[in-house]
Structure 1
Amino acid sequence: MPVRNLSYATAFAALSGFAVLWVAQRVLDIGTDYRYFAAYWSLFFASAGIIDGLTHETTRSVASDRAAGTANPWRAAGLIAALVAAASLALGVVLMGRVVPTAPLAATGILVFGLVSYVFQAALSGVLSGAGLWSQYAALVALDSGIRLAIAIAAWALGWQLWAFLALTVIGAVSWTVILGCSPRARGSIGLALDTHPFEFYRRVGSAMVASGASAAMITGFPVAASAAFPSGDGTTVAAVINAVILTRAPVLVPLQRFQSALVVRFVEKRERIYAALTAPLGAVLALGAVGFVAAWVIGPVILRFAFSPDLFVPGLTLGALTFASAFMGALMITGVAVLSTERHGVYVAGWVVATVVAFVLLFALPYGVVTNVCAALYAGPLAGAAVHAIGLRR
């Protein structure tokens, strides 16, 4: 039942993401505010993806069942939150004038608040997953998405504009306060000792965050990179491709991101048979990608014409190719989790860094235009990174 609850929560999270984007393109101007919102959405979740390294390492440490250390994830979260506040403020000063040029100061303040809160959400997610408190973790996932969706609907009904969509992007990061307030078992779990001492835990979290940062750049930060790679291109065309990338990734990557903690536990328990443990998740994500390719090719254009602005239309073959590319990204995520679960932190980082470098070089260097460059980057990058992980596992 707990795992079933997590499945429901992840499905709800994926559908909520679709719904928020659909509402946003109905409310906001496509060439300006919607493009700014999509880039801001990408920036926040890419930054949050870096912080997810804390979740992954906390999950692994709690699930290892070797609570012999003195490190505490909640105290670590406090230190990391202070560092994140400074880093996100600097990021806003440097970058926000390009991402949200109409309201850079407000957007920066919202970003700092959201990322600091997300640090504690990431720590709680890791503890709940590692301790097997899947019902509480599922509630956290569902609440995060539900708050965001509720505000999007309110913004549509009340005529709120860009500022509301910037706020709803980060507001789900306060969900940890509700879970701690409502669940005694969740409150009791935050004092769990980990399997190592503070310095070693920080070192491992740092490695995991570097790799998570590379994965976030590839997964949620890619739309920002695509916008930057074609700054002089037609705004509507770039917005359409960014929208297609986000939409085609959601069916595969949103559920998989939420299940990463469960995969960490699976691979920790089966680390002696790691290749056998990899077979089912890899087969499932590639099969889902293949089904998604056909579905996106056949019915994707119909959905875009029916539900989205004509300015956001993308042909079916492009939608199918982007959907199958998300399965390659999912395979890279799975191999990365397997490497991390076997405590090969260096290989974990190397695989994601290689994937990111390959993808971004192709995105910025190829001369073929936004669609071809994006597709080439999203296939070649994950393949290169997964190869690094596979070699590392063998060694």
Structure 2
Amino acid sequence: MLATAVAGILGYAVQVLAPALLVDRGTYIAFSVLWSAVYLCGSAMSGVQQEISRAVHPALERIVDSPLRSFTWGAGIVAVLIGLLTGAGLALSVVPGDLMALSGAVGIALVGYLITTVLTGVLYGLALWRQVAALVILDATLRAAALTLAFAFQMPIEVLALVISFPFVLAPAAVWLIVRSRITGGHILDVSFMELVGNILRTVAAAACMGAMISGLPLLIGLTKGSSAEAVLGAVILAITLTRAPIVVPVIALQSFLISAIFRGRPHPAPRIVVRLLLLALVGIVVLAGLASLIGPWIIQLVSAGRFEVSPGMMAIIVLSGGLVAIMCISGPALIAARRHTANLIGWAVAAALTMLCLLFPLEILLKVSIAIVVPAIAGISVHLVSLLRRTGTA
């Protein structure tokens, strides 16, 4: 919890400093879209961490070879290719910058993110909490410190891309040197290699849909903005980034902990408990949305030095939507722990598809964004709840 809080604060600080220190509005938007794209892909790979956290258990005797090694090599090649293509696509469309530099930076980010998720998943499965905390804090600290310097010196987008990427490689490498002797041969999986791959494909697909609704939302808005004014677009992206992060990011960071330490091995929850938790969460969300409508517009003006403005109503809607997505980030791990990977995937897929569909509506940007961040989350929660309330089945 402490590590998650520290990482969340550092990540939030980056989002606050970006509009404050990057004086060029175009550079800020390019950075936001790049950050969104990297963490959209990273969010998809969090599905790897979730399934490994569920499947890994301490071994009673030393294991000579682990299926995770073969999986990591194969997945690493795929991650590099996706990173190169993603970076090139961004350079050719919405992020003005050198194609080779952006491609290389995103490729480094994704393979590093994969290594981080595999290592963290094993640590979660073995309940090595201090080592998990060290990795989480080190990654966030390196990135926040380097980006602060890059912002201060007004570095170009290519440099910002590299600064985002390298901590994903440096942090797991440092922690691996410390934990290698403890985890090499010291863990076992409760599924075969093919079952592991099948489960990971479903959790990755679900996590990709989750990422599209969270980290990828600024990217999706940027791609569907139409002729919206730059000031309106920047204000919406900044408001979503700053107000949703304190609600959603901590829950996302705790998903593997929820799987390995809370939900795994527990009986199916009673329907009244699920409904009670949902009602309590909704009350909390409504209260936060009310507070956001009162102080949110002032905060947006403050951190952007008056360049961006957002209405109280829009602030309330954004916070409400963040709470709804956070609920899905709890119901999803509960389904994974119960090995209901397909139900988890369907819920996120329905929500993500509706998000993209709503953003394609030929409406004014504030109206269509409001619809796209609320209605799909409600649909996804409904799918998850139906499966959670069923006492039978393993879908």
The answer for unaligned runs of 5 or more in structure 1 is 1-6
1:286-314, CA deviations, whole angstroms, 9 ceiling, x for partnerless residues? Answer: 45533421332122222222222322221
- Whether 1:376 aligns to 2:383 is no
- Match in the other structure for 1:21: 15
- Match in the other structure for 1:237: 232
- Whether 1:117 aligns to 2:108 is no
> Secondary structure of the equivalent of 2:339?
coil
- Whether 1:72 aligns to 2:59 is no
- Match in the other structure for 1:60: 54
> Secondary structure of the equivalent of 2:134?
helix
| 1:101-116 alignment runs, 5 A limit | 101-116=96-111
Cα distance in 1 between the residues matched to 2:142 and 2:265: 34
TM-score, normalised on structure 2?
A: 0.90
Cα distance in 1 between the residues matched to 2:270 and 2:253: 21
The alpha-carbon deviation at position 137 of structure 1 amounts to 1.0
The alpha-carbon deviation at position 263 of structure 1 amounts to 1.2
> Secondary structure of the equivalent of 2:264?
helix
**Which amino acid counterpart does residue 321 of structure 2 have in structure 1?**
A
TM-score, normalised on structure 1?
A: 0.90
| 1:23-172 alignment runs, 5 A limit | 23-62=17-56, 72-172=67-167
Q: 1:267·1:277 contact (CA, 8 Å) conserved in 2? A: no
Q: 1:26·1:308 contact (CA, 8 Å) conserved in 2? A: yes
Q: 2:238·2:300 contact (CA, 8 Å) conserved in 1? A: no
The alpha-carbon deviation at position 278 of structure 1 amounts to 4.8
**Which amino acid counterpart does residue 392 of structure 1 have in structure 2?**
S
- Match in the other structure for 1:217: 212
Cα distance in 2 between the residues matched to 1:110 and 1:222: 21
Cα distance in 2 between the residues matched to 1:288 and 1:264: 23
Q: Which of 308, 318, 326 is the matching residue for 1:312?
A: 308
- Match in the other structure for 2:294: 298
Q: 1:187 to 1:280 in 2, by over 3 A?
A: farther
**Which amino acid counterpart does residue 329 of structure 1 have in structure 2?**
V
Q: 1:103 to 1:63 in 2, by over 3 A?
A: same
Q: 1:293·1:321 contact (CA, 8 Å) conserved in 2? A: yes
- Match in the other structure for 2:349: 353
The alpha-carbon deviation at position 375 of structure 1 amounts to 1.6
The alpha-carbon deviation at position 115 of structure 1 amounts to 0.3
Cα distance in 1 between the residues matched to 2:42 and 2:270: 28
Q: 1:74·1:120 contact (CA, 8 Å) conserved in 2? A: no
Cα distance in 2 between the residues matched to 1:64 and 1:21: 38
**Which amino acid counterpart does residue 38 of structure 2 have in structure 1?**
F
Cα distance in 1 between the residues matched to 2:229 and 2:2: 39
Q: 1:222 to 1:81 in 2, by over 3 A?
A: same
- Match in the other structure for 1:329: 325
Q: 1:237·1:311 contact (CA, 8 Å) conserved in 2? A: no
- Match in the other structure for 2:193: 198
The alpha-carbon deviation at position 65 of structure 1 amounts to 8.8
Structure having the larger proportion of residues in helix = 1
Q: 1:282 to 1:110 in 2, by over 3 A?
A: farther
Cα distance in 2 between the residues matched to 1:316 and 1:158: 34
Of 297-306 and 47-56, the range deviating more from structure 2 = 297-306
Of 7-16 and 51-60, the range deviating more from structure 2 = 7-16
The alpha-carbon deviation at position 166 of structure 1 amounts to 1.8
Give the percent of matched residue pairs that are identical in Structure 1 and Structure 2. 26
- Match in the other structure for 1:4: none
Q: 1:332 to 1:154 in 2, by over 3 A?
A: same
| 1:209-288 alignment runs, 5 A limit | 209-265=204-260, 266-273=262-269, 275=271, 278=274, 282=278, 285-288=281-284
Of 113-122 and 90-99, the range deviating more from structure 2 = 90-99
The alpha-carbon deviation at position 44 of structure 1 amounts to 0.2
Cα distance in 1 between the residues matched to 2:76 and 2:277: 33
Of 325-334 and 133-142, the range deviating more from structure 2 = 133-142
How many residue pairs end up in the alignment? 386
The alpha-carbon deviation at position 225 of structure 1 amounts to 0.6
Q: 1:77·1:123 contact (CA, 8 Å) conserved in 2? A: yes
Q: 2:97·2:157 contact (CA, 8 Å) conserved in 1? A: no
1:162-184, CA deviations, whole angstroms, 9 ceiling, x for partnerless residues? Answer: 33322232233121111112x33
- Match in the other structure for 1:390: 385
